[in-house]
A and B are shown apart, each in its own frame.
Chain A
Amino acid sequence: MRVIAAMSGGVDSAVAAARAVEAGHDVTGIHLALSQAPSSVRTGARGCCTLEDARDARRAADVLGIPFYVWDLAERFRADVVEDFLAEYAGGRTPNPCLRCNEKIKFSAVLDRALALGFDAVVTGHHARLSDGVLRRSVDAGKDQSYVLAVCTPRQLAHAMFPLGRSTKAEVRAEAARRGLAVAEKPDSHDICFIADGDTRGFLADRLGERPGDIVEDGAVIGQHAGAFGYTVGQRRGLALQQPAADGRPRYVLSIEPVSNTVTVGSAEQLSVDQITGVRPVWTVGASPGTSFDCLVQLRAHGRVSRATATVDSAGISVILHEPQRGVAAGQAIVLYDGDTVLGSATIERAA
């Protein structure tokens, strides 16, 4: 097959491309330029958006002997990922931009362009298994990325290749070293790639402006905030409350109400939810397994997995958790699994 290997400059995508070459595919390396004003060198833990990363990707392509180009998707990324990120926070929700990037950029803009240009598939370094259209968790539970891929439709997955799903990260690094790829020891990237210093709240305040409002507990105003968008359900630190709780126990963000610009806090117990409503479901396997079925659910990246019963209707998905979870934020994805197989996902609208 003629395939595009999306190469971030990191070790995973380099090894994924190498494996695609070794499997006999005709591979072309592509680095996605996602930032409109990329920094020259990498600082901190980001790992995809600097010129140094682009150079690392190019060097990996050289070593593999494959053609390499940079595709400029900065405008699409801004419109579909960064703007969406801001709008979601402004709406009191907590988005996952990596998931949105997979949905709108890697397996939409890039895949569509690749297919139109005569390629058959897009190869990425995601840690997940994919065969015969079935998406499963990576064998490396700590690195598994099936959660952020669960927004992909069967059509998108039909043109995707994840060559790393059967390997642990340690194996991937060892293989990179064996293949002479200089990125073998490159640190893992984390944090949000378009927030340079990792200061999400500062980024939001800068873009959305300060919007002071009340912090409320049991209906009583107990403090002020500079913008409700700076908070995430389940958050404990950074509340800066002067008056301690009556019982002296820590308080958490329970909910964010964008219209009244109110952040409600309360005890850990009040955070627990067991009923979740999700909208805009995507069935990775093609269709819902039934109108009501038992499954496993995961409510955020690297979050706890709970057993649950899901009910599907025209509005979306309703899920009853068999044991409650704390800190479930609207805007995150609820991903449904059968064992380690992804069934589908939806965007969390409400939790109670």
Chain B
Amino acid sequence: MTYLDHAATTPMLPVAAAAITEQLGRVGNPSSLHASGRAARRVVEEARERIAATYGAAPAEVVLTAGGTESDNLAIKGLYWARRAADPRRRRVLASAVEHHAVLDSVQWLADRQGAAVDWLPVDSAGVLHPETLAAALDDDVALVTVMWANNEVGTIQPIAELAAIARANGIPMHSDAVQAAGVLPLDFTRSGLDAVTITGHKLGGPVGVGALLLRRDATLEPVLHGGGQERDVRSGTLDVAGTAGFAAAVVESAAHREDQAKRLAALRDELVAGIRAAVPDVVVNAESVDRLPGIAHVTFPGCEGDAVLMLLDAAGVQCSTGSACTAGVARASHVLLAMGAAEAHARASLRFSLGHTSTAADVAAAVAAIGPAVERARQAGAQLAGTGR
């Protein structure tokens, strides 16, 4: 089995599994005042300190959550509500057009239900949001800016430091979803100039269901989840001791090997792209011209339906992704590619291969061997559909 969908989720690192296992037998709510509670609290706080140290944040700036979706919701809704409460004119939200659905749908909900006005900031054909685009959109009525650090589909890395500097110079809080960037790219929260950054465990070798919002100590936001106020009074819920320990272990481990791993993945990815080009000469490699995540190859096979290629590759033991799928499991034309100016048919003909820490040259060879026949087959089916009026 060749697993090339690490951007969806990547296998847990052994150190993370060990850290979780070590804590699973423990009793103790970190909020309890007795000895067991204090012992549990110590595990959580040590984990928090390790995460903070790794990402250049203060421990108080690590708000633990149940993952990337929650962190995105908290940052966007929380910042919007707080900024609007402070000044009712602040109703505009600036977001890039290529955000993950956790951001996209949170922002859209603010527009639909909370009176927000949204500017979807356009990107270029490689998916890059240019700093001047952000600068031109800023005004006194902006509540917040949110731009992802690196794109989860095509892998494009945004000029996040420049974008953050513009927002900061205008006194507007900025959030970035760094779910795909963390563990792969250098991430220093304090130096980033950002107010809030989303990270999650399972994309970097930790467990699913644990993540964090890195949140500047001077940032104010309204909570989304109300209750015990365990996390700085902006996030409630009993802290997950084992999960947090596993998350921290994965954060530290992935950071320790980050540079070597990035080089290794980029080399494997380039080999994969070269192999696909040899098998399918008219393949289009998306966002190839710009700085992008080392483990992602996003390709378009003109004349194919992406989900047909996915199915044929799956049958051949090679697992990849078409990008977004709706809740029913239907492959949809990616909003990211559409925002990059691709035609609907081009968007639907696309696949993402994403490599991670367990990927090997043998995985690349297996994918390269399977891709030619799969694309050829899918093209016949694509022509068939075109012929019947699709």
B115, CB-defined interface residue at 8 Å: no
> What's the tally of chain B residues with a CB closer than 8 Å to chain A?
22
Let me know if A67 and B314 touch, CB within 8 A. Answer: yes
| Extra 9 A-B pairs, beta carbons < 8 Å, given A31-B329, A69-B307, A113-B385 | A31-B328, A58-B329, A69-B311, A71-B307, A72-B307, A76-B389, A109-B388, A112-B384, A117-B308
Interface of B is mostly: helix
Tell me the smallest distance from the CB of A33 to a CB of chain B, in Å.
5
**Closest residue of chain A to B387, judged by CB?**
A112
Pairs A–B under 8 Å by Cβ, sample size 18: A28-B311, A28-B315, A33-B328, A67-B311, A69-B307, A70-B329, A70-B330, A72-B331, A76-B390, A112-B388, A113-B381, A115-B384, A116-B380, A116-B383, A117-B312, A117-B378, A118-B312, A118-B377
Residues of B within 8 A of A38 (CB): 328
Q: What chain A residues lie within 8 Å of B327 (beta carbons)? A: 51
Interface residues, chain B, CB within 8 Å of chain A? 307-308, 311-312, 314-315, 327-332, 377-378, 380-381, 383-385, 388-390
Closest A residue to B382 using CB positions: A116
Q: How far is the CA of A31 from the CA of B327 in the complex (A)?
A: 13
Closest to A69 in B: B311
Q: List A residues 101-153 near B (Cβ within 8 Å).
A: 108-109, 112-113, 115-118
- Cβ distance B30 to chain A, nearest Cβ, rounded Å: 36
- Which residues in A have their C-beta under 8 angstroms from that of B331? 72
Report Cα–Cα, A54/B330, bound state, in Å: 10
Residues of B within 8 A of A113 (CB): 308, 381, 384-385
Contact with B along A26-42 (1 / 0, CB 8 A): 00100101000010000
Is residue A75 contacting chain B, with contact meaning CB distance below 8 A?
Answer: yes
| A79 contacts chain B at the CB level, 8 A cutoff | yes
Alpha-carbon separation in the docked complex, A113 to B305 (Å):
11
Contacts A76-B390, A109-B388, A117-B311 given; indicate if A54 touches B381 (C-beta within 8 A).
no
Complex interface: chain A residues within 8 A of B385 (CB): 109, 112-113
Chain A residues lying within 8 Å of B329, measured Cβ to Cβ, are 31, 33, 54, 58, 69-70
Chain A residues with CB under 8 Å of B390's CB are 75-76, 109
Question: Interface readout for A15-54 with B: 1 if CB under 8 Å, 0 if not?
Answer: 0000000000000100101000010000000000001001
A54 touches B328 (CB 8 A): yes
**Is B328 in contact with A70, judged by CB distance below 8 angstroms?**
yes
